[in-house]
Every structure is written in C-alpha cells, then in structure tokens.
A and B are shown apart, each in its own frame.
Chain A
Amino acid sequence: MTRLLMALLLAGQALMVQPVQADPQIVSKRIEMRQAMDDLAIAAANHGMQLVKVQPIDQALVKRGFDNPHVRLIFINSEVAVRWAEAADPRLLNLLPMRFVLLQQGDLITVMVDDLAAWKSYYRDSPGLTVLNAWEIELREVLADFLAQCTRG
C-alpha cells in the first residue's frame, strides 16, 4: 500500500514537472558516426546551409580522462540565416550557428536539434518570429533529408 502511494505521488509529480515546451526534434538511424556527419552536411547543403564546425566533445572528454559520452556536435549556418536574423531581431543571432547533437548508441546514431518552438513565446512580438518559424521548418527538412539518405543507403 505504501509503495503504491509512493508510486502514485511520484507519478503525479512527474506529470506536474512536464516540460513547458515540446522535446527537441529527434531522429535516429543505424549508421557510422563518420557517415552520419557526412549525411548531415549533405542534408544541410541541400537546404542552403553549410557545416561550419564539428565539435568532438567525446574526444575532448576522453582525452581528459572522463568516460566517453559518445556525443559529437555539428554546427551549421548560412549567410542568409545570419542576415535575416540581423535584420529581423539580432537576439536571434544567439541561436546561430545551429547546433546538431549526434549521439551514438552502438550502431544507432540519434540526431537532436534545438527546440525552436520553445523560443516562440520570447519572439512573439518581434519580426524574429517569422524567421524562427522558417528556421524550424528548415531544421525539420534537414532532418528529414538526413533520414531519407538513410533509406537510400
């Protein structure tokens, strides 16, 4: 009975601390990390964006004696995105370059992108909202393109 009570309390609490916004966009496919980075770069290029930096935080942590988190970051950007942000609302520049998190679990690579929907209320009275909406669609399309390359491969 007491265990049931505790389970109910924790379940109730878990419901109450639900995120105020949705999860970030996430996709997964079975592929090597190297190939995933290449596919993502191609998917970004197909949407007028460019890979500007790879940040191997897995290697950085291992080099310093920590466990391997099997995570890498890829940053993509475009000059159009920068100029749009500058013109619409310079605060948007804090979201550029866009960050893709690549998580390796065995032969499965999961890619996560920032949840731009979470920013919408912040920009609701700004021309930046239009830019944010456009970026959200672009990011979804890049992820879809990334997955489509998986099915072709």
Chain B
Amino acid sequence: MMHTGWILPAMVLAPVLLALISLLLHSPRAILRLSAFGTLSTAALSGFAVWRVFRQGPMFAAGHWFMLDALSAYHVAVMMTVFSVASLFGISYFREETADGRFGRRQSRRYGSLWFGSLAAMMLVLVSNNLGIMWIGIEATTLLTAFLICVHVAPAALEAMWKYLLMCSVGVALAFTGTLLTAASAEHASLHGTDVLLWTNLRDAAQFLNPALLKAGFIFLVVGYGTKAGLAPMHNWLPDAHSQAPAPVSAIFSGFLLNAALYCILRFLPLVEAATGHTGWGRSILVVFGLLSVLMASAFIVTQCDVKRLLAYSSVEHIGVMTLGFGIGGLGTLAALFHMLSHSLCKTLAFCCAGRLGQVFGTHDMRRITRVLSIAPMWGAGLLGGLLVLIGSAPLALFTSEFLILKAAMDRGSYVVGGLFLVGLAVVFVAVLRRMIAMACSPAADRTSPLQTHRAESLLILTSLIAMLVLGLFWPPPLMRALAAAANILGGAL
C-alpha cells in the first residue's frame, strides 16, 4: 500500500504556498491566472484524496490530528468545485477592471493571497480531526475573508466588513465556549490531555459523555457557528457582506464559507445524539433554526431590489433548507447533503453572472437591469437559469432535494414543519419569479449593443446549467454512494 500520510497536510500547505507566491507576482493578470491554475491543481490533489477515501475508507495523518472521512471528503469535493468555478469566473470578472486600472497590483495581490489563504483555512477546517483546530480554522476564515470584502476600499464595503468582522468574531467566540463545554463533558470518558478534543475519540466514547454539559455546549455551538453559517436570526451580516464583495468572493462566501460553518455543527450532531440516547434533542434544535431561516429569508426576499442581496437572502434560505434536512434526519440528511452540492454550484454561477451583469449595467438594482437576454445573452441566461434552479423549479437539481426533505418531514409525521417549509418555498418562488420576468422582459433602458461573450465563459455557464438539469433527473451511482457514506456518519443511514 502506498504511503499517503503526506497528502492531508499537503492539501492545507499547497494553498498557503500559493498565497505566498501571489504576494511576489507583479501583474494582476498573472495573479488571476495563478488563482485559477493554483485552485485547479489543489482541486486535483484533493480530488485524489477524496477518491481514496471513498474507495478505502478514512485517512489519517499526523497522529490522528488530521482526518478525512466520507463526510469531510464530500465537503472537500463541494468546496473544490466551488473554488474552481469561481476562480475561472474571476478571470473574466476582473478583466475590465484590470484594463482600466481599478484592479491594480495592490488589489490583485490582496485578492490572490487572501483567496488562497481562505482556501487553506477552509481546508484546515475540513481535514482536522481535532475540534480545537477546526475552531481555529473557522476563525481564520473570518479574518482572511474580511479583507476580501473590501478588495476595493469603499465606504459601503467597509461598513459590510466591520459588521462581518464583529458579528462573526463574537459568534465564533461563543462557538469556542461550546467546544470547551464539549471537552468538559468528556470528564468521565477516560480521555486525557491531547485525546479529549479528537472527534474520533469523542465519537467512540459518546455514551460516556455528560449529556447536560454537552447539551449546553451544543446550544452555544449552534448559535456560534450558526452566526457564521448565516442561520436566522443571526444572519444580519450576510446580505451586506455578500452584496459588497466582488462577485467571485461572494460566490465562495455563499458557495462554501457558510457550508464550512454548518459542517462544524454537523460534526457535533452525532455526539449529541449518541450522548442523549438518540432522542432527537439535537436534531429538533436544527429543525427550529432551519425553519426560521427559510421563513425569515422568504420575507426579506419579497422586498429585495438589489440582485446580489436577493442572492444573499436566498443563501440564508438554502442554508435553512439544509439545516432543516439535517434536523429531520434519515432521508432528510441525504437530501440535505445533495442540496449542499447543487446549491453551492448553482449559487456560484448565479453570483458570477449577477456580478458581471452588474458591471455591464453599472448597477445591481434589478429594476434597472432589463432585457438581459438581448443585452448580455450568456450572462443573462446564466443568472436567470441559476435563479430558476434556486427557486426550486422542477425538474432541476434543487427541486429534487427540497422535495425529498419535504417527503422526509411528512414521513415522520411533522406536518406543521412540512407545511411551514412549503409556505416559505412558495413565497420565494413567486417573489423571485416576478423579478426574473421583469429582468427578462421589461423594455430596455438605453444600451442595445449585445455584449461579446468569450467562448470559454459560455462553456462554463452552459456546463453548470446542464449539470443542474442532469443532477435533477439522475444521481450517478458514485455520487449516490458518496452521499450514503457521508449520511451514514451523521447517523442518517437509510
């Protein structure tokens, strides 16, 4: 058997190295190319690790401090998809800004180094078996991504950044209290010193954990990491940060930063469930937060005029859908994991297209973005197609998972939960569809010359849209196996 202990540390260190290299480069164009090339090569490296995990089971490194099991491998796969697509879009998003000097050496170095820095931090979250290191990774993502919001220093971007920095730092500090309480709950589990924070040890000793302390800790963890994941009512920073950041950054925020925080909550879920004797106490908390997020986001989406804020609230909604799915469990867990993949890919596409259209029209106000299909056909199709997927139209990918989550809720007899969930989805569907029709059909303002689109850009948009359709109709067997293996870790085996 080949020795593979190096691969997990390498997955974290490669982006760190790339971040340092991008600080040395001079031209913005080279940095953008490096960001795409470097992301793709990190994706290739981690793709190998993911493949091995699904073939041969969990990998460990550095004395069990690093671990990649089915759940984290699935998250790594989603993350690398999002980062790859967003970095490719980044090249075309910044092209005009590079030409007119707004994206100069300073901005591009900041962008390149922080891009890889946040990739490294999120990778650290996913591959660490140690709950303390996982926390360090999440806090590091907050600090590294803060300055990505204001790649262009402007008052609104600074306001968004301050809100993000303060709210998420406080949230993550509360999550740390939760981690401490979890460690304290292991007092009678005969774990000592370094072992006490290793997830695999806590999982094996779950029935010896002190349920009262673990419950208290879990509440802190859900509120703390939930702030970072954008769960309502702790989501206030999210629309501001997402709308002010450059589009590729918004894409990784929505596409994976939120999921990384949700992942941390998921790690604690099996521990709490096992320690409380599988009574569903931890799951019911997730159901409450998930449902609240769906309903609150749907209320805000109705009145939204800014396209990026609309997409941001849609992220709150979808994180809510996933949390609800994990809370319901069983089939819901499987559906939520699938929802994560399709939402991340689709939201990346939608944010990048919305950002590009924003540059074309000079505004993010949907009342002034009109006739998108004739002015910028590919980007318009990408945004409208993406929105169509996001509101859960049949038979596209997100419809499948939302339907399955609804089915899981009904199967368990939670009719009230299912009903409220449907109300939220219906409100979003109508509100967004109204905006979409207006963007497609309202009379054009003044620009009439259609925008040239690169062939590579068209290819990227079309591939993403087709993937959304295909995933809605058919789950390839390897994906199905991966979903089942990941759901199994969360105790959601079918």
Do A and B originate from a single complex? no
Q: Hey, which bits of chain B sit against chain A, CB under 8 A?
A: none
Q: Hey, which bits of chain A sit against chain B, CB under 8 A?
A: none
